[in-house]
Amino acid sequence: MAITDTDETQDSLSRLSMEDAEILSPQQMLNEFEVVNICAPMVRYSKLPFRQLVSEYETHITFTPMILAQEFCLSAKARDSDFSTNAAERGIFLMQESPSPSSSSSAATIPDSHPVKKRKVRGSLVAQFGGHDPFYMGHAAALIKKYVDGIDINCGCPQQWAYKEGIGSALLRKWIA
């Protein structure tokens, strides 16, 4: 559903139902919109209540904290503890489309006569997994895929415990067959 600035304001967004919102992958959001706000995964903070809070402040893509893939696969208790979601956590946003490549020509000094197009979009949730075993990483992704919009592999955690376990930044240094 395309909306122009003259048709809709942020106040009238509440009149539109959640069912009208487009559901896009995080990659589609990044490709199609002018501004996309992202809240990166944060240890102990990126749980459901925090993700709900930041979505109220125009955070379009949120991440879970790093979930240990092997434990997630092997334990229902770990799954219940490490991941929760609900229908409202992602938020609904009126997002401005990126200008088309043809409109970004040398006429940058001439105001564009076309109205700015905005679309109603549901936010995205990405689950981040830490692990080094392809079997558990794949199984964890399969277990969570119907609840999230994307899967992220943590290749950057520098914590010593993670490095010793062969996860996070260790994946960038160690060859794992």
Q: Active-site residues: which are they?
A: 157
Q: How far apart are CA 165 and CA 171, in angstroms?
A: 10
Which DSSP category does 129 fall into?
A: E
Dihedral angle computed from the Cα positions of residues 140, 154, 44 and 23, in that order, rounded to the nearest 10 degrees: -70
SS3 172: helix
Structure tokens at 59: 């955070």
| Cα separation values, 8 from 13, 34, 92, 117, 123, Å | 7, 18, 14, 10, 19
**And the tokens for 97?**
């489309």
